[in-house]
Chains A and B, each alone.
Chain A
Amino acid sequence: MSTEALRPTSYLGEGAGPAAWLLTTDHKRVAWLYLVSLTAFFFLGGAFAVLMRVELATPAGDLVSDDTYNRLFSLHGIIMVWFFLVPSIPATLGNFLLPLMIGARDLAFPRLNLASWYVFILGSAFALVSVLAGGVDTGWTFYTPLSTLYANGFVSMAALGVFIVGFSTIMTGVNFIVTIHKLRAPGLTWFRLPIFVWTMYATALVMVLATPVLAASLILIVLERVFGIGIFNPALGGDPLLFQHLFWFYSHPAVYIMILPGMGVVSEVLPCFSRRPLFGYKAVALSSMAIAVFGFLVWGHHMFVSGQSAYAGVLFSFLSFCVAIPSAIKVFNWSLTLRKGEITFETPMLYALFFLALFTFGGLAGLFLAALAIDVHVHATYFVVAHFHYIMVGGMVTAYMAGLHFWWPKLTGRMYSETWGRIAATVTFLGFNLTFFPQFVLGFLGMPRRYHTYPPEFQFWHVLSSAGAVVLAVGYLMPLLYLGWSMFRGARAPANPWGATGLEWQTASPPPPHNFETMPKVDRPAYDYAMKGLRHEAFSPHKDEAR
């Protein structure tokens, strides 16, 4: 490999041993390391969710004990938020695509990138040990003084795990910000960047600025549990509400870490399969930044009934309505992108359209929660659970699936079965709505969240939700099978199977080790689907499958 002539043509061919993967600094391989780890966590967290839904099929607590149930939802939350959703798109697709999309050979700090994965694994080890040792029973929110003085799970261990994973998030964030600032190809000005890059930039900013605040609150929890330093303990003059302020100052922006990348993916997929430029490009780009900034100012809307002053509540409600505007703008822009297009419905497009529907309804449900008088009633009920699952699962995970299918040919050089892809997308969509729509009704009825048992009159809606969870699980298991199969048996993918405009499609599938044979130059805006010679290629996955 010392001379140019011997260089392999694909990054996948660069060596197959464990060392070639575990010591790689190639952003594309690091993306795979993340993809494998995150998939494992996704199914672990999903298994906890299914167990909970099965328990909730009956009003009595007859499958697992109350302590077990409390551990299930705590671990479900902790794993899904910090070990799947926060890193999901940035660490996998973002890692893989960011340099490709801006015409760079790698991220600015390739070794830091690999280090971030090891830090992630170290943090995971802590989290997994806490799971195996007996779990955590604080909820993912670690509210004090329950978490500091009363919880009997392995709280410090889990909190340390989350703390360490936070470092990995910050490393990724720093890497992305520097890469986007310093490594754009000649001619690739800020307003020529694909929206995916814009959202990665916004996400990275939030990662870098919000994660340390979470770190601070977790350190103080561990100091309180281990060293007895009582900053949140009312008996020592501390204040438990301080923890909530700190925690939500991180965790609300973290919601945007979790959804912005999904918005980025959909902004790539919709124009591609509509053969149209994204409607209102600048508004979409700038609204991502607006979301990142405003996201820091609304944390108090998690605390309307916590005992914070009513006037603080009014202020936070007002700001929360403001932060809804950029999201609304995006939905309108995405919808209008379809107008006068040449629309086809491949798997990524189906997922993207389902995203659009679920994100819209989930976002509209957010208006109820931001409206103070209604929030008093539905706060901490299933209404909230349904709302954030519509955004986090219906939105983010659906977008993640859209992106995974869209760029799968680029990641692997293979095509997956289009038929199975469409079936899985549809099953997921139906299963999702069956699972979570009933929870809106439950929440309005007053069913509190985190309940192991519940009054019998709520059972009808719980049964629907549990049935939906099973369908949803099937919907998520299917891609695992057919995508896995396609890695070895799928048809070879051309460089640009969808006829998309991004720079990542101008290099081979899978890309060569340093991404481009000749470094690209850019002289046109993003989503220039009127460009000559760029047709939705004659490539048909069905034809190839038949062969």
Chain B
Amino acid sequence: MSFGIPFTPPEASSIAGSVDTLFYTLLAFTAALGLFLTVLVVFYAIKYRAGSKAERTGERARSLPLEVTWTVASLLIAFVIFGWGAVLFLRREHPPPDALEIAGLGKQWMWEFRHPGGQREINELHVPVGKTVIVSLASQDVIHSFFVPAFRVKQDAVPGRTTNVWFTADEPGRYHLFCAQYCGTQHSEMGGWVTAMPPEDYAAWLENQGKGDTLAADGEKLFRALGCSGCHEKSSKVRAPDLAGIFGRPVALDNQQTVIADDRYLRDSILNPKKEIAAGYDPVMPSFDGLVDEGEMQMLLAYLKSLSPRATTKSEATQ
């Protein structure tokens, strides 16, 4: 029907439809306003061309009521569009419960993903249809951006912090995955495909990937290898906070403040433990900055999260 020429991107996620409704509404509004102004200017240009016989008396160089009217009208329309866009946007902050969490790591120039079961893939991402997926993004080097047009989602992966993006695919298929933040020489090659498949196919696919250790299990090994368990285990002689159920819980700090132990807090506590010290503990933990890379950081975080059963069922911490 369109001779193979694409006009619209596929709509393949739970939010795509509502984003497009706003897009098309706005398109209709702007097209109408733009055309109205164009027609008006062309009409004036013809009617009042030099030498035409049009009536020119009663011209005015200002009209306060008119100017106030269009200023107020523009403001009101702008506020409506703003509110609509903002409400849809804020859903980013509230992923539906029971999400599947996949770790995504950007590096020059590939995306590396790890499923909770430990399955790894590069520049490919397989997800089940109908289940919410949270991709927790990190970057090994420069800023990248995870972009799946068919899902209408985009999120930068920034070195030194974890960012999250969620989507629920609702249409099986293969969709483009791009890096949307310019990241150096092969920026345009950094991407691949997201494959959305029915849950049973996804389960079968996971099976076929061979059973590696889960991300959390790798994280636990690392937790021992780096010596974290030496202090953070209950039997330890050194007094260090017990990490069971830490994720998503409020932590009292020695400066009388309280923070939620989210991705950022856990990451900072590993790399920069003196920054926020849990109340009642001595600041004896050394920094692991430079000793763990971003991939290992994701394993550690996955392990810590696996210690709080609530977090895997209800991802409250991101709310």
Are A and B close enough to touch in the complex, i.e. CB under 8 Å?
Answer: yes
Which positions in A face B, CB cutoff 8 Å? 61, 66-67, 70, 137, 139, 143, 145-146, 149-151, 234-235, 237, 239-241, 274-283, 304-307, 310, 313-314, 317-318, 321-322, 324-325, 328-329, 331-333, 335, 338-345, 353, 356-357, 360-361, 364-365, 367-368, 370-377, 379-381, 441, 444-446, 448-455, 457-458, 460-461, 527, 536
| Residue from A240, A331, A376 in contact with B152 in the complex, judged by beta carbons closer than 8 Å | A376
Task: List which B1-60 residues lie within 8 A (CB) of chain A.
Answer: 4-9, 18-19, 22-23, 26, 30, 33-34, 37-38, 40-41, 44-45, 48-51, 54-56, 58-60
In the assembled complex, 21 residue pairs joining A and B whose CB atoms fall closer than 8 Å, in A order, are A143-B181, A149-B142, A235-B160, A280-B67, A314-B89, A317-B89, A321-B82, A324-B78, A331-B37, A339-B59, A340-B54, A342-B51, A353-B41, A367-B26, A374-B85, A377-B153, A380-B154, A450-B187, A454-B188, A460-B6, A461-B5
Least distance between A360 CB and chain B CB atoms (Å): 6
Contact A338 B48, beta carbon cutoff 8 Å: yes
Query: A282, A368, A458: which has the most chain B beta carbons within 10 Å?
Result: A368
Question: A373's closest neighbor in chain B, by CB?
Answer: B88
Given contacts A324-B78, A380-B180, contact A137 B89 (CB under 8 A): no
A495 to chain B, nearest CB (A): 21
Contact A446 B9, CB 8 Å, known A278-B61, A365-B30: yes
* Identity of the chain A residue whose Cβ is nearest the Cβ of B92 in the assembled complex: A310
Please provide the chain B residues from 86 to 131 with a CB less than 8 Å away from any CB of chain A in the complex. Answer: 86, 88-90, 92-93, 108
The answer, yes or no, to whether B71 is at the interface (CB within 8 Å) is: yes
Which of the segments B143-151, B218-226, B240-248 contacts the partner chain? B143-151
- B44 & A448 in contact (Cβ 8 Å cutoff): no
Beta-carbon contacts under 8 Å, B161-218 to A:
161, 163, 176, 178-189
- On whether A241 and B158 interact (CB within 8 A), knowing A146-B142, A146-B184, A452-B188, the answer reads yes
Asked if B79 is an interface residue, CB under 8 A from chain A, the answer is yes
Taking beta carbons and an 8 Å cutoff, which residues of B are in contact with A?
4-9, 18-19, 22-23, 26, 30, 33-34, 37-38, 40-41, 44-45, 48-51, 54-56, 58-63, 67, 70-71, 74-75, 78-79, 81-82, 84-86, 88-90, 92-93, 108, 141-143, 145, 147, 149-150, 152-156, 158-161, 163, 176, 178-189, 272, 289-290
Asked whether, in the complex, the Cβ of A379 is within 8 Å of the Cβ of B79, the reply is: no
Are B30 and A364 in touch, CB under 8 angstroms? yes
CB distance from A57 to the nearest CB of B (A): 15
Q: Is there contact, CB below 8 Å, between A66 and B180?
A: no
Q: In the complex, A240→B163 CA distance in Å?
A: 14
A335-B41, A376-B92, A444-B9 as given contacts; A66 in contact with B188, CB under 8 Å: yes
B42 to chain A, nearest CB (A): 9
Residue contact A377 to B19, C-beta cutoff 8 Å: yes
A305-B145 in contact given A341-B48, A371-B82, A372-B89 (Cβ < 8 Å) = yes
B156:A307 contact, CB within 8 angstroms: yes
**Contact status A379-B154, CB under 8 Å:** yes
Q: How far is the CB of B11 from chain A (nearest CB, A)?
A: 11
B93 partner residues in chain A, CB cutoff 8 A: 310
**Which of A276, A277, A343, A344 has the most C-beta atoms of chain B within 10 angstroms of its own C-beta?**
A343
Closest A residue to B87 using CB positions = A373
Taking the closest CB of chain A, its distance from the CB of B136, in whole angstroms, is: 12
CA A479 to CA B81, docked complex, whole Å: 41
Complex: how many Å from CA A340 to CA B86?
42
Contacts of A448 in B (CB 8 A): 147, 178-180, 188
Residues of the B chain whose Cβ atoms lie less than 8 Å from the Cβ of A371: 22, 26, 81-82, 84-85
- Are the CB atoms of B8 and A317 closer together than 8 Å? no
Q: A274-B48, A340-B54 are in contact. List 20 more A-B contacts (CB 8 A).
A: A70-B184, A146-B142, A151-B184, A235-B160, A235-B289, A283-B71, A313-B89, A322-B78, A329-B71, A340-B48, A340-B55, A342-B48, A343-B45, A344-B49, A353-B45, A360-B34, A360-B37, A368-B30, A372-B85, A446-B176
User: Which residues of chain A come closer than 8 Å to B161, judged between CB atoms?
Assistant: 234, 307
Pick from A365, A375, A451: contact of B187, CB under 8 Å: A451
Is the CB–CB distance between A372 and B143 below 8 Å?
A: no
By beta carbon, the residue of chain B nearest A327 is B74
- Which residue of B is nearest A368, CB measured? B26
Measured between alpha carbons, how far is A542 from B122 in the docked complex, in Å?
67
Q: Is the CB of A367 within 8 A of B178?
A: no
Decide: B180 and A381 in contact? CB cutoff 8 A: yes
Candidate in A241, A328, A338, A377 with the most chain B CB atoms within 10 angstroms: A377
Contact between chains at B188 and A451 (CB < 8 Å): yes
A-side contacts of B71, CB under 8 Å: 283, 325, 329
Distance from B68 Cβ to chain A, minimum over Cβ atoms (Å): 10
B62 close to A368 (CB less than 8 A): no
Instruction: Please give me the residue from chain B that is nearest to A278 by CB atom.
Output: B61
In the bound assembly, the distance between CA atoms of A281 and B85 in angstroms comes to: 33
Cβ B34 vs Cβ A364 within 8 A: yes
The smallest beta-carbon distance between B27 and chain A, in angstroms, is: 8
Report yes or no: B89 in contact with A450, Cβ–Cβ below 8 A. no
| Docked complex Cα distance between A310 and B91 (Å) | 10
Find chain A residues with CB under 8 A from B45 CB. Answer: 338, 343, 345, 353
Say yes or no: B85 contacts A307, CB within 8 Å.
no
- Say yes or no: B79 contacts A332, CB within 8 Å: no
Smallest distance from the beta carbon of A353 to chain B beta carbons, Å? Answer: 7
Contacts of B49 in A (CB 8 A): 342-345
Cβ–Cβ < 8 Å partners of B38 in chain A:
357, 360
- Known: A278-B61, A329-B71, A457-B6. Contact between A376 and B163, CB under 8 A? no
Establish whether residues B74 and A445, one from each chain, have CB atoms under 8 Å apart when the complex forms: no
Q: Is B85 in contact with A343, judged by CB distance below 8 angstroms?
A: no
Question: Given A278-B61, A317-B85, are A379 and B152 also a contact pair (CB < 8 Å)?
Answer: no
Say yes or no: B155 contacts A305, CB within 8 Å.
Answer: yes
Considering the chains assembled together, what is the distance between the CA atoms of A448 and B176 in angstroms? 11
Interface residue from A139, A332, A335, A527 paired with B44 (Cβ < 8 Å) = A335
| Bound-complex Cα distance A340 to B289 (A) | 72
From B4, B153, B185, A67 is in contact (CB under 8 Å) with B185
CA distance A451 to B34 in the complex (A): 30
Residues of B within 8 A of A278 (CB): 61
Given contacts A240-B143, A310-B90, contact A335 B160 (CB under 8 A): no
Residues of A within 8 A of B290 (CB): 235
Q: How far apart are the CA atoms of A313 and B180 in the complex, in Å?
A: 19
Given the complex of chains A and B, what is the CA–CA distance between A322 and B63 in angstroms?
A: 22
- A380 and B82 form a contact (CB under 8 A): no
Cα of A536 to Cα of B23 in the assembled complex, Å = 46
Judging by beta carbons under 8 Å apart, are A452 and B187 in contact?
Answer: yes
| B50 contact set on A, CB distance < 8 A | 275, 342-344, 536
Q: Find chain A residues with CB under 8 A from B85 CB.
A: 317, 370-375
In the complex, the chain A residue whose C-beta lies closest to that of B93 is A310
A residues within 8 A CB of B70? 328-329, 332
Contact check, B143 vs A374: say whether CB atoms are below 8 A apart.
no
Instruction: Give Cα distance in the complex from A133 to B316, angstroms.
Output: 53
